[in-house]
Amino acid sequence: MSDGSIAHPVSQNVAQASCAAGKTRSLLREDRRLVVNTLKLVAANAERLIALRFRQHYDAPKDVFSIFRSLLHLPGTVRASEADRLEVRLRRPDSPKIAHALDALLRDLNQDQARLLGDGPILHFILADPLNTNGALSGPLP
């Protein structure tokens, strides 16, 4: 057919369909953009919810979101500690006040036994001891 309609819609694949002349795959681009924007909103909401939990342990409410955002950039390591468990070890922040609040938040998160992608391995968070003299993360593993 030359009018741009699909002869057998069930057998046609979405990538081969065109919605109008000259606009091939415009629906796919729109769908991809909607998925990306949805994932951005989910990530922003998750960050906000965890920041609000951090606020329960940090007593300067005006600084909570900026402090928490900086905590997302802490260096650390991730390793498989058991078959169904990932250990996330974060470097301790320099400020004792922030380190105490982060430690309390991580203990709360560990009690929830959060899983990666809902049904993946359990995430276990550890706040490492301060840097030792050779610059490596120190502290005993649980």
pLDDT at 31: 82
pLDDT tens digits for the chain (142 residues)?
A: 455 555 545 544 555 554 555 555 666 778 888 888 999 999 899 899 999 999 999 988 888 999 999 999 999 999 998 888 999 999 999 999 999 999 999 999 999 888 888 788 999 999 998 654 344 444 544 4
pLDDT in tens, 28-60: 778 888 888 999 999 899 899 999 999 999 988
**Cβ contacts of 78 within 8 Å, gap of 6 or more:** 86, 87, 88, 89
**Beta strands in 1-142, from DSSP E residues, in sequence order:** 76-82, 85-90, 122-127
Give bridge partners of residue 76 from the DSSP assignment.
90
pTM above 0.85, yes or no: no
State the angle between helix axes of 96-112 and 26-55 in degrees (0 to 180), rounded to the nearest 10: 110
